[in-house]
Amino acid sequence: MSNWDTVIGLEVHVQLATKTKIFSGASTAFGAEPNTQACAIDLAMPGTLPVLNKQAVHYAVMFGLAIDAEIGKESAFERKNYFYPDLPKGYQTTQLEKPIVGRGNVEIELADGRKKTIRIHHAHLEEDAGKSLHEGDFRHGVSGIDLNRAGTPLIEIVSEPDMNNAEEAIAFAKKLHSIVTSIGICDGEMSQGSMRFDVNVSVKPSGSDTLGTRTETKNLNSFKFMEECIAKEVERQIDLIEDGGTVLQETRLYNGDTKVARSMRSKEEANDYRYFPCPDLLPVIVSDETIEELRRNLPELPDARQARFVEQYSLSDYDAGILSSDAAMANYFETAAEKSGNAKLAANWTMGELAARLNNEDLSIANSPVSAEQLAGLIVRIADNSISGKMAKQVFEGIWAGEGSADEIIDARGLKQVSDSGALEQMVADVLAANQAMVEDYINTDEAKRKKKLGGFMGQIMKASKGQANPQQVNQILAKKLNELL
């Protein structure tokens, strides 16, 4: 047992899936040419005023409802002042005193089946900053600024320090991902920065009630990096204290590619943000009617969906848990199950072959080259014994490569399993006739050892049928025909 307890809290930035910015009508679509989606408001041109996006407010309220939180019926915006070129106004418009989402709870489930409740301190609305580009062909001493992302609506979710190891932190992060994608307020594309995590870590002697000094590692955008970063930071802090040093309160950065963590700024250098109420924005009122309407229309939450999958499709708790954790995967599975009429196979293929292939190619299920309908087409042919499991994998590869539907590929590649007994009888007879020596050998072999000789014939027959003969049927026909010769 370790002599140290770890305490972890998370701050999670979630980009809301609105069409436009939080305070302007410029598009938030990902991947546009630099600065083509940054309007006068996003650029903080003099004389412009922000107008709050209704959808952003509604999405934030939906998150609050999903975690059973108090909803801030009257919330307000503050200015957080700091200088940085990707923040044209010189302040970030955010919420401090009156956030839109108050205290709430998120339940996580751990690998050993244990459940734990992580308390949410609050969640607030704010705007994202732009991006600074340091690499490129710029002249020496120059950075490039792209403000397309400036003003993209975010909710920042702040947890209580309720996690005690990396597993709990990752489970919590994944649960939040699952919730925000399930209720459709975020696309969940981590590689595009749609969810970013700040991790607060401290250690204290086992059993102590006093929290240690914490560090904050900013802007992690993958669960894997988070896990690595927490492990390294816990080890660094324990080593430091055991060697007689003290942990400094500081902001740190972790580079997931190089696996190097480093200090960014200490508390002494910390920014003095000089928060004050934003005079450009009035108090935001969310009526009881709006809250109730959003509550009525709230999409199914991951826990409810897991229970439904167990009930409706007779899946195991474990399988249902995996499939329901990701909204896109859950929808994919349901479409494949409904269209194929075979939920068990749909679950196995979604979590197995498909998930593995997507993982290999680093694709999200939303961008899967094999659609749920196409997978259903393949499952139908597996279920009705048209193709073997081995052929199914070939057909899957064909669909992946864009060769068409399962039926088209089975036809084009001549993969259909031959189960017609007349055709199989003929095939077996032909092979026996062409291999008289093997037949003689079989007849002259002791009865006890004859069974071993069958494999040779099977090989020949499968070769002659290009692998399409139904093996069980061939076995029966072959045994019958050889017995007749004895």
Residues forming the site for other proteins (CB under 8 A)? 18-20, 24-27, 33-41, 43, 45, 51-57, 76, 81, 83-85, 97-98, 132-134, 136-138, 141-147, 253, 264-265, 272, 274, 277, 279, 281-285
Q: Which is nearer to other proteins, 276 or 318 (CB)?
A: 276
Residue 37 vs residues 43, 192, 414: alpha-carbon distances, Å? 10, 16, 51
Smallest distance, other proteins to C-beta of residue 114, A = 39
The torsion angles phi and psi of 94, rounded to 5 degrees, stand at: -150, -175
Report yes or no: 435 and 427 within 8 Å, Cβ to Cβ: no
Residue 44 vs residues 47, 105, 136, 277, 336: alpha-carbon distances, Å? 8, 37, 26, 18, 48
Smallest distance, other proteins to C-beta of residue 100, A = 12
Report yes or no: 127 and 21 within 8 Å, Cβ to Cβ: yes
Q: Which is nearer to other proteins, 76 or 261 (CB)?
A: 76
Smallest distance, other proteins to C-beta of residue 50, A = 9
First to last CA, the chain: 71
Measured distance CA(92)–CA(22) in Å, rounded:
12
Collapse the DSSP code of 280 into the 3-class scheme (helix H, G, I; strand E, B; otherwise coil) and give the result: coil
Report yes or no: 177 and 47 within 8 Å, Cβ to Cβ: no
Q: Which is nearer to other proteins, 43 or 351 (CB)?
A: 43
Q: Which is nearer to other proteins, 82 or 318 (CB)?
A: 82
Smallest distance, other proteins to C-beta of residue 161, A = 26
CA atoms within 13 A on the CB side of 344: 4
Find all residues with CB under 8 Å of 414, minimum gap 6, and list them.
Answer: 466, 468
Q: Which is nearer to other proteins, 272 or 447 (CB)?
A: 272
Measured distance CA(37)–CA(258) in Å, rounded:
32
Smallest distance, other proteins to C-beta of residue 59, A = 10
Smallest distance, other proteins to C-beta of residue 265, A = 8
352: closest CA among 393, 311, 314? 393
**Cα 44 → chain centroid:** 35
Report yes or no: 24 and 42 within 8 Å, Cβ to Cβ: yes
Q: Which is nearer to other proteins, 281 or 454 (CB)?
A: 281
Q: Which is nearer to other proteins, 33 or 447 (CB)?
A: 33
Q: Which is nearer to other proteins, 224 or 274 (CB)?
A: 274
Smallest distance, other proteins to C-beta of residue 327, A = 20
Q: Which is nearer to other proteins, 270 or 383 (CB)?
A: 270
Instruction: For residue 276, list its beta bridge partners.
Output: 79
264's tokens: 């960014």
Smallest distance, other proteins to C-beta of residue 277, A = 4
Smallest distance, other proteins to C-beta of residue 124, A = 14
